[in-house]
Amino acid sequence: MVVADPSLSRDLQDASDTPDLLHSLNEKDSSVLSLAASDDYIFSGSQNQDISVWCKSSFRLKHTLRGHTGSVLCLEYAKDKDWLFSSSGDSTVRIWSVQTLSLLYVLEPYLDTGAGDLFSLAYAQHNQTLYIGCQNTSLQWFDFRQLPSPIFNSDRSSASSSNVSKHGRSNSSSSSAQVTTSVPGSGTSTPNPTAAARKVHKFFDSYPQYERKPADIFANNTPLPSQLSSASDDGCVRSLDALLPTPLGYLSIPGGNVIDSAHYGYVYCMALLEGPEPEKRVQLITGSGDETVKLWTIETSGVSNPVPQLTHTFTFAHGAVLSLIARGDTIFAGCQDGYVKVLDVETRACVRTIIVQEGIDVLSVSMIGSDLYTCSANGRIQRWSASFDCTASWQAHGGIILSSIITRASPHGNDNEPLLGLKGVTKAQSVHGWRLVTGGNDSHIKVWEVVLPKERGAQDPTLLDVRSKSVNETMTYALSKFIAIPSVSSVPSHREDCRQAAIWLRKCLGQLGAQASLLPTGEGTNPIVLGTFSGTSKGSQPKPRILFYGHYDVISAPTKGWDSDPFKLTGRNGYLYGRGATDDKGPIIAVACAAADLLARRALAVDLVFLIEGEEECGSAGFGATVRKHKKDIGRADAILLSNSTWIAEDTPCITHGLRGVVHCSIQISSNLPDLHSGVEGGGVSEPMLDMVRLLATLTGDDKRVQIPGFYDNVRPLSEDERQLYTRLAAITQRPAASLASRWREPSLTIHNIQISGPRSKASIFHTLRSRPAT
């Protein structure tokens, strides 16, 4: 049994091209769940509820942002406001000033803790709106244009009293934002304001069940800020009340800013896709545990509180969507089990599937130019080119990689100052570039030096061209893997190879952009591969639907007659040799790659359905019954295309638009005697075999004309126009016109086999024979 590598991506790794590790940061025995970066800082959100602030230029810990009571699941930097958003398992979003590293607001979702963990954030600058993906499957948002801007003084602890009101709470479900504030330093004092501001959490603030008491903030299983303490440098223990920040205000998402059941699973990841006119419209992308990516359109001009409108749903079968990134009109979705889906926004099609490593979840994806970096649960990072080839792969962490970002190096600092931890390297040599920052459950943050693809000799990094690898390159590479599987359907020992060929082809079609599956044909027979490439819709007219038929099984290769391994694709003198290269693996891959190329160029104007069986070389067992059973899944067919015929010349392709068809019949001759021994009875009895041979010999004459009466009665006479066409074709093919006409337009008769009544014995006279001529 041969199991081929399912990935169509070539391994083009160069050890010298692996990114250099610039620095490693330690997160104090806590998983790094989220990352963000500003011009000066790297922010890391951890499982221990804190946000560490690292200086980009020195890689030293600058500050720690505290206040969350749950793991920090997502960080989002708003450059226009110089704000940092953090979402947590405590069902809150906190808004921090990046300039002062102080807490500005606490944003609570609609239904408070009922929203569950807040897994994902996306901030749209053009409408100053933050979008939140929730554990309760809802999509929520808050418009900060309705919020007064805080004004800080030099001690970072007071705000303009004209812009805020005294502390209060509101749970209004109206469509306008609710703002309640607490003003430090304004003369208003409240006992323990941090504790009073905290809402009851139905889980963390619950009592033991036997006490039968409702949850409240005084439950003993959750320490209040006033109960926390910290040892200072002088050894004294002080209350952390003074260390935990008090926000300027508490914000509540109104009920009108919620889409309930936006997905049928947790909303794990989000991204924004801003088109050519983002001031008018942006698109929000959400990924979920329900194996879908959804595309939402948001009007950003002339609408005070635009509601995201669902415009398309991409549905997969590769587990939860765990990570997202968007560039141009292309979305990259990292999924469970090691798949990355490449989605085209304009055509609403999946144009490619990258198999990173089967069975290993892709938890984070980042991008610079046309280079995609995938971070997986096995601690490995892989870099993929615009042609989806793996150009680098390395072990980055000792555990699961949970988060990643790409950011510019710090523009500040003394260029001649040595860089901490890098001997002989100055900031001038380090800061003018890009950094890939990754965080894992090994308590480490790694900073890698990455460069634009253009600087490594690749194409323009601003362009994402899914066709940058030529169709011929993709086709030849895929065919080499397909040929390597000895899917000989007539040999029982190759039955598992046939199944593996079907599995490989399903994955191949999926990677090229089709929705693919396997259809079982019954016990002991090979499955059918069903794959559909969905074309681009133009207008309201339904797209033509073309059914392509082929077969992935092959006949066995004789030991003689091959100058190379029949199950290794070999090129010689302009030809490709390998079992199945012509019949029928080569045509299958050629048509699939052509469909993928058209799909990537948004030029596939039809729905192309692949129906590929694995029993054609031994009678197509189970094919008809399976097609009838799954007729609804296959769908209608306006035309059927197959590539199992020949060209009219070596370098002149042709399209066969008609076939003569096949009619099977059988002739049986028998006597009333049992089978006899030729050494005893030979010459003394009439032998049915000889009678069968005489009869079959009379079916055709010396001129190869069929002698059966009426055989040619329904054949249309050759017209003058057809005669001229055959004359032209004869000049192209260097074959007689009469020979071409006999092959293409006239009926023929072929004797396929003669079957005997008993075991094959050289000494037997068989008295029952069956012959199978075919017309």
Domains and CATH numbers, the chain: 471-642 (3.40.630.10), 667-774 (3.30.70.360)
Please, are residues 85 and 251 in contact by the beta-carbon 8 Å criterion? no
Q: Is 36 helix (H, G, I), strand (E, B) or coil?
A: strand
Q: What is the pLDDT of residue 469?
A: 59
Q: What is the pLDDT of residue 419?
A: 37
Distance CA 12, CA 169 (A): 59
Q: What is the pLDDT of residue 770?
A: 66
Distance CA 412, CA 124 (A): 27
Global confidence as pTM: 0.75
Q: What is the pLDDT of residue 764?
A: 54
Please, are residues 439 and 429 in contact by the beta-carbon 8 Å criterion? no
Q: What is the pLDDT of residue 422?
A: 37
Q: End-to-end distance of the chain based on CA atoms, in angstroms?
A: 38
- Other C-beta atoms closer than 10 Å to the C-beta of 488 total 23
Q: What is the pLDDT of residue 231?
A: 42
Q: What is the pLDDT of residue 227?
A: 43
Which amino acid is present at 735? R
- pLDDT < 50 stretches in the chain: 150-175, 181-197, 220, 222-242, 413-431, 458-468
Please, are residues 740 and 729 in contact by the beta-carbon 8 Å criterion? yes
Catalytic residues: 553, 616
Q: How far is CA 202 from the centre of its chain?
A: 37
Q: What is the pLDDT of residue 572?
A: 85
Residue 725 DSSP code = H
**DSSP strands (E only) in 241-320:** 249-252, 258-259, 267-274, 281-288, 292-299, 309-315
CB within 8 Å of 234: residues ≥ 6 apart:
none
